[in-house]
Amino acid sequence: MSTASPRSALSPENLGLLEAVARLGSMAAAARELGLVPSALTYRVRQIEDALDVLLFDRRARRAQLTPAGAELLRSGQYLLDELDAVAQRVKRVATGWEPQLTIAADALIARATLFELCEAFYAEGAPTRLKLRAETLSGTLEALQSGQADLALGVSGELAQGDVQSAPLGTVSFVFAVAPHHPLAATTHSLNDDELRQHRAVAVADSTQRGNGMTHNLLPGQDVLTVPSMQHKLEAQLRGIGAGFLPLPLAQPFIVAGRLVVKAVRRPNRTIRAAYAWRQPRG
């Protein structure tokens, strides 16, 4: 029989055969597991070695030990097997109409618990699509969608009727002005005006936009501000009394009930956001 080519020697079946010998430590044990007679297995291994022109096992030891070349072949072979599995999955996704990956830009106002509940519901559908989550804030959420960095944006607000962006409502999110019980503003009994608020540090979440300066909400001219990267950081800062500011009511509510945050009335319009989810739909 002619010697096999290197490519044919690296078939999934042959790689599995070599892995069994290395794992079990003997040709005989591997032959039993694979349902082969030992002589047939030994012949197959020699064929692979001849095709690659390398020695894969050191036969001088009592156990079948991999040579350095054999160990490298198994490491690289596992990568090849993983890639073959990935190709099969991608082909299946194309055939069934599912995207290989869905990247979701989630705005900071979307609670993490809500986000993961959505992920659980998606996985329960048995879809083969991989999910990738991106944390965004303010105008950065819509920007991630428009720039192609995300396929779906959750929690976007403001004007959405632009280009190929489509949207649907998620609902409204109310915000409350809250401080820690030991914050100086916690002791006040009246509605706070802008002059009083300006004297105390605000905590603001940075806009994640990569273009321009982004947007801010509820910051007063001349007011000291601590800028943090996420809504969770903002919550933690306000729980520590480092600053004050508006928080989404669903996020703040457990800490209000527990007495770790105090809601204060302010002489400003009620802060409510109409949130939506958005996606790109190219014009046909």
Per-residue pLDDT of the chain (284 residues; tens, 9 = 90+): 456 688 888 888 999 899 999 999 888 999 999 999 999 999 999 999 999 999 999 888 778 889 999 999 988 888 888 788 777 777 776 787 788 889 999 998 888 888 999 999 999 988 888 899 999 988 888 888 888 888 999 999 876 656 788 889 988 999 999 999 999 999 999 999 999 999 999 999 888 776 555 556 668 888 999 999 889 999 999 999 999 999 999 999 999 999 999 999 999 877 888 899 999 876 55
Q: Do the domains 174-271 and 6-95 match in fold?
A: no
Beta-carbon contacts of residue 200 (< 8 Å; ≥ 6 apart): 183, 184, 185, 223, 224, 243, 244
Question: Taking the model in full, what pTM does it have?
Answer: 0.61
Burial of 213 (0-12, 13-18, 19+ CB in 10 A): exposed
**Helix, strand, coil proportions of the chain in percent (round to 5)?**
40, 25, 35
Distance between first and last Cα of the chain? 59
Q: What is the distance between the alpha carbons of residues 33 and 214, in angstroms, rounded to a whole number?
A: 63
Q: Which two tokens stand for residue 154?
A: 């959750």
Fold of 174-271: D-Maltodextrin-Binding Protein; domain 2 (3.40.190)
Q: What is the distance between the alpha carbons of residues 137 and 214, in angstroms, rounded to a whole number?
A: 10
Rg (CA), the chain: 30
CA 238 distance to own-chain centroid? 27
CA 251 distance to own-chain centroid? 21
Domain 6-95, CATH class in plain words: mainly alpha
Sketch the domain layout of the chain as residue ranges.
6-95, 101-171, 174-271
DSSP letter at 170? E
